[in-house]
Structure 1
Amino acid sequence: MLSSKAKLSVVIILTVISMYLIYMLWNIQQRLPIIEQVDDIHFESVLNEDYTFQNEHLKVVAFIYTKCPDICPMTMYDLTFLQAKLKDEQIFGDRVQIVTITLDPEFDTADTLRKYASNFAIDSSGWFILRDSESETKIVANQFQMNYKKDENGFVTHSTKLYLVDAENKIRSVHDMNVAGKEVNLEEIMENIERLLDE
C-alpha cells in the first residue's frame, strides 16, 4: 500500500505529465502546415546583390509584373504597410524579408523594375525585387503553384496569392493579394509570421 505522501507524489507527477502532453498537443495544433517545399532560388535582385532563398529568413513572397493595371500595384502598396509593421516589431530584414518576383522578365528589365520600385516606399535592406529568365521564372512559379499566362498584348493573367515561406524554404501559408480593392490581410500575415518565429 502506498502512503498518503506517495499517493500525492504520484498524483502530482501524473498531473504534470498530463499538462505537458496537453501543451504539446496544443502546440502541434497551432503550428502552420507545410504546404510545399521550395528549391533554392538564385535570381537577380535589381535593388541589391543577387538573391538566394537559402538564407534562413522568413519570406513573404509575391509574384507581380509592372504592366499590371490593378492587383499588383495595390498589393505592392499593401506590402509597404506590412514593411512598416515588420519594422515596428524590429524584425524587418534581419528575420523577415519581402520578396517580389516579376512574372514578365522579357519586359521587366532591371531598369524597368527599379523605376517601378521608386513608386513605392521600398526599403531595399529587407525587400528584394527579383527577375530571371522566362524559363527559370516558370520553374519557380510552378513550385509555388502560381499559374500565369502572357497574351500577345503583354497582359499577364495570374493567380492572386501571396506566400509565407519559412527559414527552411517551406511554404507555410497562402494569402490573398489585393483583389477588387480588398486589402491584403496584413494582420493574418503578421500572426502567422509570429507563429513561425516562435517555432
Structure 2
Amino acid sequence: MEQEQKTAVSRKRYTFPLIVLAVCLVLGGYILWSQNSTSKYPKGADFSYTDTDGQTVTLKNTNGNVRLLYFFYSYCPDVCPPTTFLMSQVQDELKKTGDFGKDVEFLSVTIDPTRDTPERMKEFGGKLGADLSGWKFLRGDEKATAELAKKYQILVTKDEEGNFGHMNLIVLLDKKGRIRDWISANDYFANGKDNLPLSDFVKKITDLL
C-alpha cells in the first residue's frame, strides 16, 4: 500500500511538468507558424534565366545575398540607361565596403530577349559601369518574363509595333528572397531639390545585411 502511494505521488510530481512542457512546445510551434504565415514581407516569385556566360541563375540559387532585381531592355530610349547607371553608382559604394559580389548581387532581367543577346547586354552593362562579377544580366522567354514582372508588381507592356513599356522600379529582395521594397530610380535622378541622396539607396541595402 505504501509503495502504491509513493508511486502515485511520483506520477503526480512528473506529470504536471510534462504537461507544461507539452503546452509550451505547442504554443511555441503555433507562434512560429503564426509569424511565418502573417509575414508582412511577401516571398519573391522564383525564376530561371541564363546570364551572359550561359549559366543558369535562379532566385533560389542567389539566396543568401541581398538582391536588386531590375526589369529593363537595352534599346530603352529613356529610363533604363540612367537607372542602370544609378545602380552602378550604388555598386561602386558597395564595393568600397566589400559587400558587392559577396553579400549583395544585382540582377537585371531583359524584357526584350529577342534583341538583347548576351553580347548586347554585356555591351550595355559595360558602357554604364556594371561589374559583372556581382551583376548578372539575364534573359529568358519574353512572355514568361512579362508574367514574372507582374508577380513582382511591375507592369510590362508591348504595343502592336513592338515597342516596350515598363514601370521603372527596382525590387529589393532580402537574403531569404522576400520583397522588402520597390525603389523608384526617379527619386534619385529626377531634377529638383528633393532628390534623395545616393547614401539613402545604399542604406536600404546595407540595412538588410
TM class by smaller structure? 0.7 to 0.9
Aligned counterpart, 1:193? 205
The 8 Å contact of residues 163 and 173 in structure 1, kept in 2 or not, is answered as yes
Distance 1:159 1:193, change over 3 A: same
What are structure 1's unaligned runs of at least 5 residues?
Answer: 1-32
What is the match of residue 38 of structure 1? 44
Structure 2 counterpart of 1:132? 140
Partners of 1:177 and 1:184 within 8 A in 2: no
Shift of 1:148: 1.2
How much has 1:190 moved relative to structure 2? Answer: 1.7
Distance, in Å, in 2 between the alignment partners of 1:121 and 1:167 is 25
CA contact (8 A) 1:57 1:95 kept: yes
Unaligned runs of 5+ in 2: 1-38
- Report the equivalent of 2:76: 68
Deviation at 1:173, TM superposition (A): 1.0
Distance 2:169 2:81 in 1: 14
Moved over 4 A (4+): none
1:53 pairs with one of 59, 62, 79: 59
In structure 2, distance between residues paired with 1:34 and 1:91: 26
The TM-score with structure 1 as length reference comes to 0.75
Instruction: Determine the C-alpha separation between the residues in 1 that align with 2:54 and 2:95.
Output: 19
Cα distance in 1 for residues equivalent to 2:145 and 2:163: 16
Cα 1:185–1:62 change in 2 (3 A) is farther
Rounded to whole Å, the distance in 1 between the matches of 2:188 and 2:164 is: 17
How far residue 194 of structure 1 moved from its aligned partner, in angstroms, is 2.1
In structure 1, C-alpha distance between the alignment counterparts of 2:178 and 2:97, rounded to whole Å: 23
Rg comparison, structure with higher value: 2
Flag the 1:166–1:114 CA change in 2: closer, same or farther, 3 A. Answer: same
Classify 1:168/1:186 alpha carbon distance in 2 versus 1 (closer, same or farther; 3 Å).
Answer: same
Percent identical among aligned pairs is 27
Across the aligned residues of Structure 1 and Structure 2, the Cα RMSD in angstroms comes to: 2.2
Are the counterparts in 1 of residues 45 and 152 from structure 2 also a CA contact under 8 Å? no
Equivalent pairs counted in the alignment come to 165
Per-residue deviation, residues 144-167 of structure 1 (Å, max 9, x unmatched): 111011123332111111111011
In 2, Cα distance between the equivalents of 1:34 and 1:139? 23
Q: 1:110-125 residue pairs with structure 2 within 5 A?
A: 110-125=118-133
Between the aligned partners of 1:110 and 1:39, the Cα distance in structure 2 is 24
